[in-house]
Amino acid sequence: MKEKLKIYDPIFKEKAIQLSYERGNVSRVEKELKITRSLLFSWRKEHQKFGNASFPGTGKLKLNPEQEQIHKLEKKLKELELKFEILKKGNKYLFQDRLSLYQFIDSNKKIYSINNMCKALGVSAITYYRWKKQIIPKTQIRIILIKQEITSIFFEFKERYGSPRITKELQKRGYKIECTRVAKYMRQLGLRSMVIKKNKVRINSEFNLYAPNILDEKYIATQPSKVWISAITYIKTTKGYLYLTIILDLFDHKIIGWSLGDGLTTKETVLVAWEMAVNNREITNKLIFHSTRGAQYASRSFTKTLNFHKSVTRSMSNKGDYLDNAIARDFFNQLKKEFACRHKRLTKNEMRVEIFEYIETLHNKKESIFNLK
């Protein structure tokens, strides 16, 4: 029967080498420790080459001090790369509730070790295992169901509902919940409504010259060029905002003048729209030109342009009166509802083409009830 190869402890090897140097007699050490001369010399040779790292133990690398340092750095680098990979995948769950984080760990346990994931994500492994064993509490189940309902409502209403409107919808469906909690859950879910916010732009306007409200909400015109209504709005594109100015004839609601530009100066807005309007329709009798109280309409240059036409009477909305320019506002609301919201990803050039087609091809043909010669 073949004798089994004896395995010596690393500490035994080091003591044997030390003893051989102290005694100076290898034969004596051989007899005392019951090892062969060749084995002892082999250990001494390894010790001279690798020093204290000569006998690392079973399954460990035999490295000199420099190699050991490199090995430690490589190991640290691999750990950092693994941590980065886990964080990259689980980053979005860090800002959600613990349940979402635990579910991420559980779904990726075949790819990464649970300890590595818990360490990278700052989660206690003990807490994770406790969660794994226990049944999900009723309150947690309720939160999950509410979040599912919030997500359903959000996409049902084309991503336009914010937390207040979703709260009302939830309450209609029997949920007792406050708006602040809905807002919190929406943040955790990453849901954000597509609400068009007003862009505050500084206008380099001239001295403001305001006019009284002559029209006074009497939205009736029996002939063309009796009442023109004008207003300005903003339209969002992928590269910022465009500003749309319209002049609408109250007789047939046709847009007879308009401009679409990058700026809000008088030259870029109302003067361009006015020039188009007077070219499209002749002012033959008394005309009321009604507008908002915007700085463009109250500027000296536009006031001077209107005063040039003796038959034009200026009229402006009352300050803070929501109904004073309802016709123009309704047109903009319809445009944004049917057009702008559906084309929110258009560039400025694409938007210019679409606005032209909407006004000239769709709106004016639909609204016009007569043809001018």
pLDDT above 60 (res 322): no
Best CA proximity match to 47, nearest among 13, 72, 19, 78: 13
pLDDT above 90 (res 175): no
User: Residue 304 domain-assigned?
Assistant: yes
Which residues 6+ apart lie within 8 Å of 2 measured at CB? none
Distance from chain centroid for Cα 107? 26
pLDDT in tens, 107-139: 888 888 888 888 888 888 888 887 777 656 667
The residue among 94, 117, 133 that closes a domain is: 133
Domain check: are 271 and 359 in the same one? Answer: yes
Domain check: are 43 and 118 in the same one? Answer: no
User: Residue 195 domain-assigned?
Assistant: no
Alpha carbons 111 and 239: distance in angstroms, whole number:
41
pLDDT in tens, 191-239: 887 655 555 544 444 445 788 888 877 777 888 989 999 999 888 888 8
Cα–Cα–Cα angle for 26, 27, 33, rounded to 5 degrees: 85
Domain check: are 362 and 238 in the same one? Answer: yes
User: Residue 217 domain-assigned?
Assistant: no
Per DSSP, 196 falls in state: P
Query: For the purposes of burial, counting CB atoms within 10 Å of the CB of 84, is it exposed (0-12), middle (13-18) or buried (19 or more)?
Result: exposed
DSSP 31-64: HHHT--HHHHHHHHHHHHHHGGGS---TT-----
Q: Which residue type occupies 22? A: E
pLDDT above 80 (res 1): no
- The most confident of the ranges 45-54, 70-79, 300-309 is 300-309
Domain check: are 360 and 280 in the same one? Answer: yes
Give 63's pLDDT tier (boundaries 50, 70, 90): low
Domain check: are 250 and 353 in the same one? Answer: yes
- Measured from the Cβ of residue 98, the count of other Cβ atoms closer than 10 Å reads 13
Distances in Å between the Cα of 120 and the Cα atoms of 7, 124, 129 are 39, 10, 16
Domain check: are 245 and 269 in the same one? Answer: yes
Residues 237/269, Cβ–Cβ less than 8 Å: no
pLDDT at 339: 62
CA terminus-to-terminus distance, the chain: 120
pLDDT, averaged across the chain: 79
User: Residue 29 domain-assigned?
Assistant: yes
pLDDT at 257: 94
Share of the chain above pLDDT 90, in %: 12
Domain containing 328 — which CATH number?
A: 3.30.420.10
For residue 38, give its domain range.
Answer: 10-53
User: Residue 316 domain-assigned?
Assistant: yes
Alpha carbons 274 and 259: distance in angstroms, whole number:
9
Q: How many domains does the chain have?
A: 4
Alpha carbons 218 and 226: distance in angstroms, whole number:
12
Domain check: are 146 and 118 in the same one? Answer: no
pLDDT above 50 (res 35): yes
Residues 211/315, Cβ–Cβ less than 8 Å: yes
Domain check: are 127 and 146 in the same one? Answer: no
What SS3 state is found at 242?
A: strand
- Provide the pairing of β-strand 254-261 with 227-237: unpaired
Domain check: are 125 and 180 in the same one? Answer: no
Give 254's pLDDT tier (boundaries 50, 70, 90): very high
Share of the chain above pLDDT 70, in %: 80
Alpha carbons 348 and 350: distance in angstroms, whole number:
5
Domain check: are 33 and 91 in the same one? Answer: no
Domain check: are 123 and 234 in the same one? Answer: no
User: Residue 280 domain-assigned?
Assistant: yes
The residue among 97, 114, 133 that closes a domain is: 133
pLDDT above 70 (res 106): yes
pLDDT at 95: 67
Domain check: are 297 and 337 in the same one? Answer: yes
> Which has more pLDDT, 198 or 55?
55
Q: Which of 32-41, 144-153, 289-298, 299-308 has the lowest mean pLDDT?
A: 32-41
Alpha carbons 113 and 105: distance in angstroms, whole number:
9
User: Residue 107 domain-assigned?
Assistant: yes
Q: Which residue type occupies 313? A: T
Distance from chain centroid for Cα 212? 45
